[in-house]
Chain A
């Protein structure tokens, strides 16, 4: 078990969990990140094994670990964090998907946006490394053409010294304290899907209707708001 930093007052640790394969029946060990949620008076009020964890490696690479699902509901903190790091001059990101159970198109669009921003700043595509990626997730990223933006590695051994991770606030889908409102969600999703279309034009056929719907819904909402003023 290895301790690390979480939100102030919370305890982050890695634990080895034995999991039985549902089909072949063999048990295998899996290292998972957990976070004990501690309230203001020091009482443990919950346990979280989901969320987006970030840290800085000794070689200055920004490390991101996705535990559980990456969705439109927890993408914004990652987007914000990555943009701040890029503004501060960070050029290399490592995204660990070893414990990622799934990603939706908005989360993938946010990842694509980080890659596009780095490329816009003149950095090579390989400045984002996706590590510990499952064959299922690799296929998904390839289908969306995101393998052009990232270098991907399914190696199960950690390629870098483990940083001290902390959990980005409001990324645990089971404990969202300040979920995004309608407008913010719509803006995030529109930007994320635009990123997917920019990353690979073949994505237009997959997301055209969704992008159009989101844009029209946002326009209607803004018009109604103006009328109400």
Chain B
């Protein structure tokens, strides 16, 4: 099992966050803290690269929904990128694909904010 890691790479006004490992009850407070810090800095455009994500639990998705809601009040949002099939099944089952847009390329995900 990979250790949970958050790597941030700015792409202009968009924050690209690469997640590695399991986004679960133990690790979601770290992501929540990172997203809160971004919000405090006025960074409202976030792309989460999930390619190296092994697992996502309901609490982790709750943190994303919370940030997305706040960010939308400032015309921002969260996009998901490179979501592995098994994780896509989970987020679709839980209805999260209706509120979180999923992209398959980094260019598309970043450009979706520029198009706003």
Contact = CB atoms under 8 A, between A and B. Distances in A.
Interface range on chain B: under 10, 10 to 19, 20 to 34, or 35 or more?
Answer: 20 to 34
A92 to B, nearest CB: 26
Contact of A209 (B65, B94, B98): B65
B99 interface: yes
B57 A104 contact: yes
A210 B61 contact: yes
Does more than half of chain A's interface fall in helix, strand or loop, or is it mixed? Answer: helix
A222 interface: no
A217 B96 CA distance: 9
Given A185-B94, A186-B95, A189-B94, A108 B25 contact: yes
Contacts of A217: 94-95, 98
B95 A189 contact: no
B58 A104 contact: yes
Given A108-B25, A140-B26, A185-B94, A209 B59 contact: no
Interface string A158-196: 000000000000000000000100100110010001000
A185 B93 CA distance: 8
Interface centre among B26, B58, B95 (most CB of A within 10 A): B58
Contact of A207 (B24, B55, B62): B62
A105 interface: yes
B66 interface: yes
Interface in A44-79: 69, 71-72
Contacts of B1: 101
Interface residues of A, number: 26
B69 interface: yes
B59 A102 contact: no
B104 to A, nearest CB: 24
A209 B58 contact: no
Interface string B84-116: 000000000111101100000000000000000
Contacts of B98: 217
Given A186-B95, A210-B65, A106 B58 contact: yes
Interface string A190-228: 000100000000000011011001100100010000000
Nearest to A193: B58
A104 B25 contact: yes
A219 to B, nearest CB: 11
Interface in B50-83: 55, 57-59, 61-62, 65-66, 69
14 contacts: A102-B24, A140-B26, A182-B95, A189-B58, A189-B94, A193-B58, A207-B59, A209-B65, A210-B59, A210-B66, A213-B65, A213-B95, A214-B95, A217-B98
Interface of A: 69, 71-72, 101-106, 108, 136, 140, 179, 182, 185-186, 189, 193, 206-207, 209-210, 213-214, 217, 221
